[in-house]
Amino acid sequence: MRDFISVKDVISIEEMLTSAKSIKVNPYEDSGIGKNKTMVLLFFNSSLRTRLSTQKAALNLGMHVIPMNLSEGWGLEFDDGTVMNMDKAEHVREAAAVISQYADIIGIRTFAGLKDRELDYADRIIRQFAACASVPIVNLESAILHPLQSFTDLFTIESYRKKKRPKVVLTWAPHPRALPQAVANSFLEWMQQTDYELVVTHPEGYELAETFTAGCTIEYDQRKAFADADFIYAKNWSSYQEYGKILSTDSDWMVTAEKMTLTNNAHFMHCLPVRRNVVVADAVIDSDQSLVIEQAGNRAVIAQAVLKKILENLKG
């Protein structure tokens, strides 16, 4: 593993889950491994959990961390051969190569524009940074993937798994704004590395890209999907078919305490931030079955496991 862009970059998930378990118990046991190493975090979009958890993880490993906000005015050109006489001040070729001069690892956060599906699904900001950088790239959520989140989700489910093959349900939930599909896509990608019973439920029109749903059970009736579930993972996303559109804000899709009674006393999960009483009712997120805070805490654990692996490979 040089880069950590998608699940495909991980050689052994099992080995990394074991590493994460150990990190959770003793987060400072590898504090020498990152000595004199610097991680630069580039934020094209805002971030709270990812920013703090990645910084914490890198600091625990003894690294230096330099976060930079690029949201304002740093127009990057991604096309080759263009005459750059418009609003783009720098080409990704120089930007990525130059930052590689000062960083040992580069983290990148960039959301989908939700206007041009082909463009978003090429995931080109992170892909081109990886192509032009001479150091490892870590995906802090890209246009279509959020692997640090989904690896955390897997780790969290593993911690609470009580049977060999738990039923895990990814349920769409309403939201007032159009959100990317990144968390849902990645969740499916990582869950399919397991032997869980995986069900996706959403209104018609909210089908995710086939690359991610191939092999999944899709159930349009949310209540049927919830039956005997061990984990309910709620998340909103905008339509992939009618790209970036909000097709429904139907509050019938909110996760409620009554619906949770259909499950096998399921744990409730969400990547946060969450709109209370829109995505999930207070009674569910505030219940003992809610894992959302520990799940968020696990973000730092997984980030540390990923950075540790990358640092080991740098040295090796």
**CA distances (Å), 257 to each of 102, 157, 237, in order?**
50, 20, 22
Least separation in angstroms between CB 214 and its own copies: 32
Contact (Cβ atoms closer than 8 angstroms) between residue 245 and residue 178: yes
Least separation in angstroms between CB 79 and its own copies: 10
Supply φ then ψ for residue 180, to 5 degrees.
Answer: -65, 165
Which residues would be at the binding site for its own copies (CB under 8 A)?
27-28, 31, 36, 38, 40, 46, 48-49, 51-53, 55-56, 59-60, 64, 66, 68, 72-74, 77, 80-86, 89-91, 94-95, 97-99, 101-103, 176, 249, 272-278, 282, 292-293, 296-297, 299-300
Residue (90 or 204) nearer to its own copies, CB:
90
Residue (157 or 173) nearer to its own copies, CB:
173
Residue (102 or 220) nearer to its own copies, CB:
102
Residue (55 or 149) nearer to its own copies, CB:
55
Using omega within 30 degrees of 0 as the cis cutoff, is the peptide bond preceding 166 cis? no
Which 3 state secondary structure label does DSSP give 68? strand
Continuous segment of H or E residues that includes residue 121: helix 117-121
**CA distances (Å), 275 to each of 50, 65, 176, 272, 288, in order?**
18, 31, 9, 9, 19
Least separation in angstroms between CB 294 and its own copies: 8
DSSP annotation of 290: B
- Could you give the CA distance from residue 207 to residue 115 in angstroms, rounded to a whole number? 17
- Could you give the CA distance from residue 89 to residue 246 in angstroms, rounded to a whole number? 34
Size of the chain, expressed as the number of residues it contains = 316
Cβ-based neighbour number of residue 178 at 10 Å = 15
DSSP annotation of 251: G
Least separation in angstroms between CB 225 and its own copies: 23
Across the beta sheet with 105-109, the strand order is 64-69, 38-43, 105-109, 137-139
Residue (249 or 261) nearer to its own copies, CB:
249
Residue (40 or 255) nearer to its own copies, CB:
40
Burial class (CB in 10 A: 0-12, 13-18, 19+), 221: exposed
Least separation in angstroms between CB 174 and its own copies: 8
Residue (57 or 260) nearer to its own copies, CB:
57
Cα dihedral across residues 78, 84, 85, 90: positive or negative: positive
Least separation in angstroms between CB 123 and its own copies: 23
Residue (13 or 52) nearer to its own copies, CB:
52
Least separation in angstroms between CB 224 and its own copies: 26
Least separation in angstroms between CB 32 and its own copies: 13
